[in-house]
Amino acid sequence: MSGFHWKVDRRALASAIVRKKCGTAVADLTDHLLEAANRTVPIEEGTLQNSGRATTKGLKGVVSYNTPYACRQHEEMGYRHDSGRRAKWLEMTFKEEQPRALAYLAKRIDL
């Protein structure tokens, strides 16, 4: 008896599912990073903190601050800050949150 043999390639479907889960996780992580960074951003009037944005496009997430002095404020180690506030706030927050972020990402895509 002859018949049909079906070979179903599910790689494209699996890839689409993983990409969607990763995209959602990246958006969540980008929002979380902004929230965490805002806890140590230098603050005087709140302008710098209020300029913070978390944006995502596909599998890329960006956290940014948009004031004329944001970059200088981030890099200048000699500035004095209120208690709990610091220079390099975004860079340091990213490093501090990285292990939790990777664990979250793995959990979200079921690895």
Per-residue pLDDT of the chain (111 residues; tens, 9 = 90+): 567 777 878 888 888 888 888 899 999 999 999 999 999 999 989 999 999 999 999 899 999 999 999 999 999 999 999 999 999 999 999 999 999 999 998 888 775
In a domain, 34, yes or no: yes
In a domain, 58, yes or no: yes
Instruction: Tell me how many domains the chain contains.
Output: 1
Q: Which residue has the tokens 């390639």?
A: 9
Looking at the chain, which runs of residues are DSSP E strands?
53-57, 60-64
Expressed in percent and rounded to 5, the helix, strand and coil fractions of the chain are 50, 10, 40
In a domain, 38, yes or no: yes
In a domain, 6, yes or no: no
pLDDT of residue 4: 77
